[in-house]
Structure formats: C-alpha cells, structure tokens
Structure 1
Amino acid sequence: SLGLWALLPAVTGAPTNRRTCVFFEAPGVQGSTKTLGELLDAEQGSPRVIRCLYSRCCFGIWNLTQGRAQVEMQGCRDSDEPGCESLHCDPRPRAHSSPGSTLFTCSCGTDFCNANYSHLPPPGSLGAPGFQGPQADPGESIWMALVLLGLFLLLLLLGSIVLALLQRKTHRVRGGPEPEPDSDRYWSEELQELPELCFSQVIQEGRHAVVWAGQLQGELVAIKAFPPRAVAQFRSERAMYELLGLQHDHIVCFITAGQGGCGPLPSGPLLVLELHPKGSLCHYLTQHTSDWKSSLRMAVSLAKGLAFLHEERWQHGQYKPGIAHRDLSSQNVLIREDGSCVIGDLGLALVLPGLSQPPTWAPTQPPGPAAIMEAGTYRYMAPELLDKTLDLQDWGTALRRADVYSLALLLWEILSRCLDLSPDHRPPPFQLAYEAELGSAPTTCELWALAVDERRRPYIPSTWSCSTT
C-alpha cells in the first residue's frame, strides 16, 4: 500500500454527482489529461485532485521496474469504459515500456480510488496462468458480501417488475407497435429500390459493410452493402456523402443510395459509388512499384483530397464544413486510372466546428468526448488517440492533426515502393506502416508502447535523403 489516503485533502464543495480523482503526471510523460476535468486547489504537500467533466471514472498508471513501482499518471477518464464499475484500483499489465519494465493501469469508479493500489504482481508472474490480479485484503470480505447481497435483492426486485409488465401486456388490446428507428420497415420506406442494379463480385469486406463491383444502368459502379443491423452506420456515411459541395477529384464520387431486392444477394441499405478497378492503395502497392513521378502523383493527390476534406469553404453559394476522416488507411484510399488517389470510406468521418457556418445550416449535435476519441484502424492512429490525450478543448484542430499523422504513414508506404529511392532500383516487398516492427496484426498495447512510449516511427532508409530525384 502506498499510504496516500491520509494525505488527501477534504473535498471542499465537490458536487455529489461529479467524480473526484487524484491527479498526477510524471515529468516527461507525453500528453496530458488536464482537459478532462477541473483541477482543484490542494494544500502544500498533498496530492492534487481533479473533478471529472466527462465521466465518473478515475484511472492510474504505474511503472514497475525491478520490483519498484513509480506512478506515471493519475486523473479522470474521458468516458465510462469497461472496468470503471470497479470500486477499487485493481491494476492490470498494459504494456512493456522497456526491457525489465511493465506498465500497469487501473480504472475505478469511486472518489480518490486511483490514489492507491493493493497489490502488483512480481515481475516473474506476468502472463503466468496463476496470476489473478490484485488480492483483496481480508477486512474487505464482509463488505463485499453485503454488496453482493444488495445486488441480488436489486435483481430480484427488477425481475418482479419485468414479470408484472409482461403480465400486464398480455391483457392489453392488441395493436400495431410503433416501428423502431432501425427496423427493416423504417429504413426500407425511406430508400428507393434499384431494380437495374446488378451485383458482380465482392471486392472488399469490412466491419459494417461488404463492397461489391456491379453495374447500374450499364455503368460500372461500386456497391457498399450494409446489413440491416448496421443501418446507423449506413445513415451516417450517407449523410456525409450527401453534404453539399463535397464533390472533388480526389474524394470518391457518390452516385445514389437505395436498397437491394429479394433473393440471396444483399437486401439491406446500399451506397452506390464510383468504381475504381485498380483497387485500394494497399493492393496496388503490393502488386506494383513506381517511379518518382508516379509516386509523387499519388502523394500529392492524396494530400489534396485530405486538405479539401479538412477545409471549411463556400463555393458557388454552397457551404461545405470541415470534415475529419478519422480512418485514413491504405485500404480506404483507391487508385484512379491516371494513377492518382481518391479518398473513400467516410463511415467514421466527423463534421468539425466551423467559423463561417451560415445561420440556416444546422449541423448535428456536438459529439461527446467518447465519440470524438473514436477512430478507425489502430495501425494509423495518432499517438494522442492511442493514449487518449487528444486536446478536447480544440478537438477540431486536434482531429485534423490526427488525420495528417495518418497521411504521413501513407506517404511512407507510397515512397517505400518507389524505384528511384532504392539504390539498386529494387524496392523491398510492400509492408504496411509499422509492419516491420510489429507484424501484420499489432495490438493497441504494442502500438502504444512503440509510437507513444518509445516515440518511434517507421524506418526511413538513408537512401531517401541521399536521392537525387
């Protein structure tokens, strides 16, 4: 036990509905969580405390080196994550920050619960089958039994209420229920049928949709098919594509939205988009190398497309807000026939706060911290998203910068296949960013340790800086 409880000041005037946590950031720690709460004044010699703004959850991070634990960070979480229901700080191994050192983190949901921990396992027990995490001391057993008994009685009461409601429902006069917003009936009524749409073959599968090649009225198209359970993702992406003024040479062209017909082919909501037969940037770089001119064409077009997305602008009397992509990866960038790039997959894109929005333009409700922190492919996440220290006070600028980080990784992938940057004009086989260091499926902990803690980036050969192209 660290014995910090005795040093904590009394919570003067703290509202009961706001969580209060210990706040500490070791010198040299990257990022800050100050913006997630309101720092309170503390007496000299006492730990600082913070009153959470966005969650009722505290966290703590400790670095265990040669059997000695040093606190790295303490403060408020940005949202109530799994684990925040814990009443005590129960540390779990998070990552190896360096050889012989291990980071432990905890989340908990009571005032000042992150001030202390009861137990850290010895270094030799990490990952061992017998490791059960921190052990509760004996004095807590009776208290825990009372809590469990209370939960049991609460569940019994809820069960009785549900049973009474079900019995009441059986005696009600039968009537048509209101359609739920995401029900089949609801979305099918708002979408046109596309009888002339033909599916050809699957070209990409994602978390929420499958992309097909097909034809609409004789024209080759890409069809993004969503299952009925993913109607919310469909509506979000459709709304983004339908924003006025979003047309650009390096943003994938939206054609229409509709629904599929009966039969074995997709029958849910569909987005019909421009087809690019050369496929994704990842597929193209795997199959092809390029000279300096071709590499530059891909890089510049990609940068132009992202700059257009980020820009807030008026054009021909139409207002286009700034947009953060938030899932920029070589799978979500396509290659045009002329060798330039277009940015696709706006499923996680977010409209950014603007300075020149017209009075009649009504954006959606400003997102909360959890929604702002949401991002796509872990490999391309900026460090401030990996460790959740994104600046929430100026989140529009922060999300633009996170996109630029992803763009830099894509530029690295493009240049890694450039013939003119290789001394023998034989570039190595294509690898994704960080694939050489972490393999094809890195975990968030591995990416955090590499990109945040060690501040490493993909290797840049010396021949790149010596090139005369």
Structure 2
Amino acid sequence: MSLQRWLLSAVVGCALLCRPTYGQLVAERRRCAFRVSPWNLRQYRHAGAVNGSVQLCSHTQYCVGYFLLVNDQPEVDVQACNVAENPVQNAICEASSLRLKRLIKCVCNEDMCNRNVTRRPQPSQPPPTDSHTVEKVTISTIFIPGFVLFAFIMLIAVKWRHRFKECDKKTPTMLCSCRTAPTHPINGADVELQQAVGRGHFATVWRGEYKGSVVAVKVFPAGHKHKFSSEREVYELPLMEHPGIARFLGAGKSRDGGQWLMVLELASCGSLQHFLCTKRGSWIESMKLSQSLSQGLAFLHSDLHRRGLHKPAVAHRDLSSSNVLVRADGMCTLSDFGCSTILRSCSGLPGWRRPTGSTEDPRQVGSLRYMSPEILEGSVDLRSGRCLVQADVYSLGLLLWEIWMRCSDLFQDSMVPEHCLPYETELGSSVTLDQLLVHVSQMSKRPSIPKHWEWETQELVTDCWDHDPDARLTAQCVVSRLHALQTTCTL
C-alpha cells in the first residue's frame, strides 16, 4: 500500500506543477478541412468522422492537403486528416513539391489549417532561439507530463496486478482474429467441368458450371493439397472482398474425392498475359488495367480492422501477367495465392510470419522473370514481411511496363510492339536464374522504356522496380501516382 500512496502523491503533485501543460495531453481532436475525390475516398474516410466539409481526426493531430497545379494554380485533390503520423510544427499548410512535379503537398498542425496552401520558399536558416527558453519548454512539455503519465500507469498496474493474474488462469488462449474456419464449403457433385482453359505448376483451371452459373474451377491434384489449403486460407480471410481480388465462391473435394476444387468467378478475358497478346489498348483502357491492378495489390497489402474483424496484410509472392485476370469490363483482378504469405501480427504470432511448415528457397516461389533482385540473390529474410511486400511492388512495376508497352496512345508515331514478357527481348523466351542474376542483380538492368513516354510515366515504373527495396513505392502510393497521372497527362 505504501507504493500506491507514493505513486498517487506523485501524480497529484506533478499534476499541480504542470497543470497548463497537462491540459494539452487531453486536447480536443484535430479538425481538418475535408474534400476528397471519389478515387481517394477509401484511403481517407477512415482517418476520422466526417461532417460536411470537416473531418474530426481519429488517429493523428495533423491535417494534409494535396493540390494539383493547373496553369501554376493549385486545385484541391485531397484535404483531410493525415493518414500517417508525420510530426510537423507548421501552423499553416506550407507547400512542398513531390517528385511528380504537378502535385504539391502540405501538412500542418492547427484546426482547419489545410483549407489553403501557402507556396513560399523555406527560410535558408532557422530563426535564432534562446537556449534557456528551449530548455524550459522541453522540461514543461515533455518531461513532467511524461512522468505524470508513467506514474499513473504504474499506479493502475499495481492496483490491478492480482486481477490480471486471476484472468490469466480463467481466460482461454484467444485465437488470432484473422484465423477462421472454412466458410465456403461446396459439394463436388454441384460442380461440372466443361473445358480446360489454363494449366499451372500446381493446378488446372477449367471453365465450368456451379449451381447454374458459369464459373472458373481450379482443380488441384491430391498431392498438392498444401497449395490448395494455402490459397483457400487467403481467400477466406475476413474482409477479403474487393473488386481487385478474384471473387471466391467456395472450395471442397471433387465428386470422387481424389482432387481438390476451388470455384471462382470467371474472368471472361482470361489472364492479363493472354489479353495483352491479343489486344492493344487506348490510354484510357490501359489506365483502367493499371489502376485496378494497383488497387487490388494495395488492398492485398493493407491491414484492415473493421466491424470487429481483422484482415492482415498479405504478400502475393507470385505476381505475374499469367496470375492476373481481366474481367469483361476491362478491370484486373488478382488470383493464384498458392505462394502467398499472410503477414500476421496477432496475439500468439508476434511479428510477421512465413507459411506454416514452409522451408522452400525464396527463388523456388513465383515466376522467375518477375522476381526482384534481392529474391534472385536469395538474400531475403522471410522473418520480415516487409521485404516480401517490396518484392511485390517490383513485380508490379514490370506489369505496368507490360501493360503500357501495348498502349496505342503511347506509340502514336510508331508501331505498337508485339507483347513481350519482361526481359524477353534482352534474354529470350526462356530465362535462367544465372542470366537474371547477371542482368537484373549484378548489372541493375531493367526492360527498355521508350524515351518518348511522359516523364511521369517513366518515373512511376522506375520507382517501382528500383534496385534498392527501401526506395520503391508502396502499392498505395502507386495508386495515388496513377490517379495524378490520369488527371494531369493529356495524350
């Protein structure tokens, strides 16, 4: 009891000493101007509650603004609470140029400060500051409130320690919220296989019929049950419904019990590789492919908590034009998650994890020509999911190049090239690991980009396949760049 009394006295005493500063710890949530294009609504609407043109921030004390420069005048693209916690001391929204030079960004820390953007050069030197003033501010605003908070937490911990021990004895171990039992069982007798439309390393894809609907049926031999189970686990994650993900209808055993079946919505245009081989596209059509592909990957990489459910981030690990499907509306959907890794961060599973029982060499997973330099070198630490996500973005860069090389509007003064896979021109149709190690990893070479392409188009691709994984964009950033590119580029 003496410890509790001492802590309580410390809390009360320090609270009296630093009452003005302590009040700042419980300040009202930040209010920001809110105006977001429909394309960016998904990203920013979860940053806080919206009331008309005002957003009340849930996770940050900073407002953000993105402005497109049209005739050198800023036009609003995004005004909202900042989705990232980037500490700034600016009371006004002062512009900073992004690498896409027609887009500027500002972040500020006052209510409604992002209503307008201020474009002025940064001062060359910071204004002189009195060292004694800095010392006083540091002590009053950081040390004392921090001590109060620490003492308060310790007081609560001492008081409830014995209750936590009792709870540990009575409460069963909770499973991670993203672990779910199969929720889409099917009866193999309801599935009719009609025509084989594709063959992969582990399964054959058939056009078929399920309960009166035309579907795609993925058939796994009994020996590849582990791949079937891995893919089904991804599809059955909570909140896994998204236009950029192939729609999963169910899974189960075949009628004779000798094979495993996975039923998916049929993408009538087939794989992206087949689509690009047979069809050229306009700029609008190519952007639709690129944007839907990037949105699907950004969703896959996202960690979502909604309605008490949790979808962890997932690394695809086999992103290629044969594993991306094209629907009748010209939109891409991601499929083939047999090599994917669920990046869990749940109780009992600290950090991000590799698939259960997985011992494979990283270079044995995925399509060789789409592998990033670090994967080719075998230098990837599979205990860290970040490297797997970065490798996906490298593959995304190759896919964007693949799509735009078939865009007729990007070759107005010349013939549109026939479809080629990445490095097919340089290394041929059958590449080996040794060839790619020399060309991609040691020589840092990438597929050739036509010089007449817009600078922003070239930069977007090269920022995806940068040799340094940490320098690559995120999939969500690619989505934003593509939106800005669509808005600003005229062909």
Alpha-carbon offset, residue 365 of structure 1: 7.2
The partner residue of 2:335 within 341, 344, 350 is 344
Match of 1:432 in 2: 421
Alpha-carbon offset, residue 464 of structure 1: 1.1
Alpha-carbon offset, residue 359 of structure 1: 7.4
Alpha-carbon offset, residue 353 of structure 1: 3.9
Alpha-carbon offset, residue 256 of structure 1: 0.6
Match of 1:462 in 2: 451
Match of 1:9 in 2: none
Alpha-carbon offset, residue 362 of structure 1: 12
The percentage of aligned residue pairs carrying the same residue is 40
| Amino acid of the structure 1 residue aligned with 2:224 | A
Secondary structure, counterpart of 2:395 in structure 1: helix
Alpha-carbon offset, residue 390 of structure 1: 2.1
Over residues 395-415 of structure 1, what are the superposed CA-to-partner deviations in whole Å (9 max), with x where a residue is unaligned?
211111000000000000000
Q: Counterparts of 1:329 and 1:342 in 2: how far apart (Å)?
A: 12
- Structure 1 spans left out of the alignment, 5+ residues: 1-189
Match of 1:222 in 2: 216
| Amino acid of the structure 2 residue aligned with 1:332 | N
CA RMSD of aligned residues (A): 2.6
Secondary structure, counterpart of 2:391 in structure 1: helix
Q: Counterparts of 1:433 and 1:229 in 2: how far apart (Å)?
A: 31
Task: Give the direction of change, closer, same or farther, for the CA distance of 1:429–1:227 in structure 2 (3 Å limit).
Answer: same
Match of 1:313 in 2: 304
Match of 1:378 in 2: 368
The partner residue of 1:322 within 304, 313, 320 is 313
Kindly indicate whether the alpha-carbon contact (under 8 Å) linking 2:231 and 2:339 is maintained by their aligned counterparts in 1.
yes
Match of 2:18 in 1: none
The partner residue of 2:236 within 237, 242, 253 is 242
| Amino acid of the structure 2 residue aligned with 1:384 | E
Q: Counterparts of 1:301 and 1:199 in 2: how far apart (Å)?
A: 29
Higher helix share: 2
The partner residue of 1:388 within 338, 361, 378 is 378
The partner residue of 1:304 within 279, 295, 304 is 295
Match of 2:261 in 1: 270
Q: Counterparts of 2:348 and 2:197 in 1: how far apart (Å)?
A: 42
Q: Counterparts of 1:439 and 1:223 in 2: how far apart (Å)?
A: 32
Q: Counterparts of 2:447 and 2:350 in 1: how far apart (Å)?
A: 42
Alpha-carbon offset, residue 388 of structure 1: 1.2
1:282 maps onto 2:273 in alignment: yes
Match of 1:403 in 2: 392
Please give the TM-score of this superposition, normalised by the length of structure 1. Answer: 0.55
Kindly indicate whether the alpha-carbon contact (under 8 Å) linking 2:398 and 2:422 is maintained by their aligned counterparts in 1.
yes
Kindly indicate whether the alpha-carbon contact (under 8 Å) linking 1:375 and 1:381 is maintained by their aligned counterparts in 2.
no
Secondary structure, counterpart of 2:333 in structure 1: strand
| Amino acid of the structure 2 residue aligned with 1:272 | V
Kindly indicate whether the alpha-carbon contact (under 8 Å) linking 2:208 and 2:216 is maintained by their aligned counterparts in 1.
yes
- Structure 2 spans left out of the alignment, 5+ residues: 1-183, 456-488
Alpha-carbon offset, residue 358 of structure 1: 6.1
Alpha-carbon offset, residue 367 of structure 1: 5.8
Q: Counterparts of 1:192 and 1:299 in 2: how far apart (Å)?
A: 33
Q: Counterparts of 1:329 and 1:229 in 2: how far apart (Å)?
A: 24
Task: Give the direction of change, closer, same or farther, for the CA distance of 1:256–1:191 in structure 2 (3 Å limit).
Answer: closer
Alpha-carbon offset, residue 364 of structure 1: 7.3
1:260 maps onto 2:254 in alignment: yes
Secondary structure, counterpart of 2:320 in structure 1: coil
Structure-to-structure mapping, 1:59-458, within 5 angstroms? 193-262=187-256, 267-354=258-345, 357=346, 370-371=359-360, 373=362, 374-391=364-381, 395-424=384-413, 426-458=415-447
Match of 1:172 in 2: none
- The count of corresponding residues between Structure 1 and Structure 2 is 274
Q: Counterparts of 1:307 and 1:368 in 2: how far apart (Å)?
A: 27
Kindly indicate whether the alpha-carbon contact (under 8 Å) linking 2:342 and 2:354 is maintained by their aligned counterparts in 1.
no
| Amino acid of the structure 2 residue aligned with 1:214 | G
Q: Counterparts of 2:390 and 2:333 in 1: how far apart (Å)?
A: 20
| Amino acid of the structure 1 residue aligned with 2:255 | G
Q: Counterparts of 1:405 and 1:377 in 2: how far apart (Å)?
A: 13
Secondary structure, counterpart of 1:214 in structure 2: strand
Kindly indicate whether the alpha-carbon contact (under 8 Å) linking 1:369 and 1:392 is maintained by their aligned counterparts in 2.
no
| Amino acid of the structure 2 residue aligned with 1:379 | R
Q: Counterparts of 1:246 and 1:329 in 2: how far apart (Å)?
A: 21
Q: Counterparts of 2:354 and 2:318 in 1: how far apart (Å)?
A: 21
Alpha-carbon offset, residue 454 of structure 1: 0.6
Q: Counterparts of 1:447 and 1:327 in 2: how far apart (Å)?
A: 16
Q: Counterparts of 1:423 and 1:468 in 2: how far apart (Å)?
A: 13
| Amino acid of the structure 1 residue aligned with 2:368 | Y
Match of 1:125 in 2: none
Over residues 203-251 of structure 1, what are the superposed CA-to-partner deviations in whole Å (9 max), with x where a residue is unaligned?
1101111000000011011100011111111111111111111111100
Secondary structure, counterpart of 2:188 in structure 1: coil
Secondary structure, counterpart of 2:244 in structure 1: coil
| Amino acid of the structure 2 residue aligned with 1:437 | E
Kindly indicate whether the alpha-carbon contact (under 8 Å) linking 2:222 and 2:260 is maintained by their aligned counterparts in 1.
yes
Q: Counterparts of 2:213 and 2:198 in 1: how far apart (Å)?
A: 20
